[in-house]
Amino acid sequence: MKINSSLLWIAAICLLISGCSNYRELNQLGVITGMGIDQNDDPEQPYRVTYQVINPSGISQTGSSGGQGLAVINYTVTAKTILEAFGKESVIIPRENMISHLSLIVIDEELARNGIDLLFDAFDRGKSARTSVPIFIARGKTAEDVLGVIEPLEITPGKNIVSTTKNNQQMYGSSSEVLVYEAISALLSQGKDVLLPGISIRNDSKKAKQTGNFETTTPAILESKGLAIF
């Protein structure tokens, strides 16, 4: 069987021009790795949502002297609903938002005491929401405060929270990681309770959210503490 040489040329050209035509550099994206939800004082906009975005130049600082700033930047919006907050992030984050790398959600204890059903409904039905993300309850401080603690041993507060909880689960067993879809399933199942791990701040100070937190032998740290039962 003979193959037309023109078809071969067309196939070769297609291979050459395809591939990376729509790629985007990391410094063009706002990669969201953490999300905190607090109760807002304004009844018209009852939710205060914090988005933790990776700062590429800050991460490069850990391996060289060329980085600028911290590894993450927190942006906060207020909204009437969680679904509205998912859209309002684009108002303040100056780069294309990417929530596919979301690694945790922190919920304020005061807000959680009023019920979490509507929060999980937004995670389940939101266009950009994810349900394979662990959930934590901020104890004694707001979720925004918890996501702001810069601890020396981890690059980002979000990674620190997840690592601390997993370490506690393996070594001590007083808490366990619970994903969004697991919490939703428990809420919809008769006779099941939702148990969410708590996170608090130990040695809290004004420097907890600054690089000055590195300059002491007793820095502000995040502590896996207690369980929230719903």
Distance CA 56, CA 49 (A): 22
Close Cβ partners of 135 (under 8 Å, ≥ 6 residues apart): 104, 105, 106, 107, 178, 179, 180, 183, 196
pLDDT tens track for 167-208: 877 887 777 788 988 888 888 888 888 889 999 998 888 888
Give the rounded percent of residues in the chain with a pLDDT score beyond 90: 23
User: Quick one: average pLDDT of 17-40?
Assistant: 74
Q: Is the pLDDT of residue 65 over 50?
A: no
The answer to whether the CB of 131 falls within 8 A of the CB of 179 is yes
User: Quick one: average pLDDT of 40-48?
Assistant: 92
Q: Where are the domains of the chain?
A: 29-229
What pLDDT sits at residue 23?
56
pTM (2 d.p.) = 0.81
Q: Is the pLDDT of residue 4 over 80?
A: no
Radius of gyration (C-alpha) of the chain in whole angstroms: 21
